[in-house]
Structure 1
Amino acid sequence: MKLIKAYIRAKLLEDVYCSLRNEGYSSMTVFEGEGTGRYSDPDKQHGSLNFPAMHTHVVKIEIAAKAGQISSILQIIQENGRTGRKGDGIIFVTSIEQVYRIRDGKEGAEILN
């Protein structure tokens, strides 16, 4: 099992989400955030009262998936989350050691469906 964390442009969330959902990947968590880094889009950076440093509005999508689904999910995110400019985002893939469903205590990759 793997955990995908994708940081993308907020304006591309709907395209990425709809494409993932159309391919059967409907279980995800989405967070709004602000990010900084050398890959921020210099034309879209701005300061705010909440975060005064130069930053970019981003969205983080988290998806837990079986190992065999990872390449498909990554391809969907990259195809639909890309503008070709700096600041398009980054994707992290990490291993999940264990997973438990709170409702009934079941565990393992089969609960991800």
Structure 2
Amino acid sequence: MKEIKAMIRPEKFEEVYSTLRSEGYCCMTVYHGEGTGRRGDPEKLNATLEFPFLHSKIVKIEILVTDEQQDDVINIIQQTACTHHKGDGIIYSSDIDKAISIRTGEEGVAAL
């Protein structure tokens, strides 16, 4: 199993989400956040009293998939979230050693 994390522009989230859902990837966790990095869009950087440094608003998507689904999900996110400008975001993929459903106790892919 793989965990895919993607930090994308907030304005691209709805399109990414809809595309993932239409391709059968229904289950994900989504966070609103703020971040800094070398690749931020200079036109979208701002500072606030709460975060007094230049940062960008982001949406973070976390999704667990089988090993075979990894490339498909990454391609969907990359193609759908891309604007070809700095600040489009980044995608990470990590191995998952174990997944357990709290309610049923099912493990592995069955827990997803």
TM norm. shorter chain > 0.5: yes
Q: Structure 2 regions of 5+ residues with no counterpart?
A: none
**Quick check: 1:98 aligned with 2:98?**
yes
Paired position in structure 2 for 1:47 = 47
The structural deviation recorded for 1:110 is 2.2
The DSSP-based 3-state class of the residue aligned with 2:71 is helix
Give TM-score, length-normalised by structure 2.
Answer: 0.98
The DSSP-based 3-state class of the residue aligned with 2:104 is coil
Q: Structure 1 regions of 5+ residues with no counterpart?
A: none
Paired position in structure 2 for 1:23 = 23
Tell me the number of residue pairs that the alignment of Structure 1 and Structure 2 aligns: 112
The DSSP-based 3-state class of the residue aligned with 1:75 is helix
**Percentage of identical aligned residues:** 48
The structural deviation recorded for 1:111 is 2.3
Q: 2: CA distance between counterparts of 1:98 and 1:27?
A: 17
The DSSP-based 3-state class of the residue aligned with 1:93 is strand
Q: 1: CA distance between counterparts of 2:50 and 2:94?
A: 30
Query: How large is the Cα RMSD of the aligned pairs?
Result: 0.6
The structural deviation recorded for 1:51 is 0.9
The DSSP-based 3-state class of the residue aligned with 1:47 is coil
Q: 1: CA distance between counterparts of 2:92 and 2:33?
A: 16
The DSSP-based 3-state class of the residue aligned with 1:57 is strand
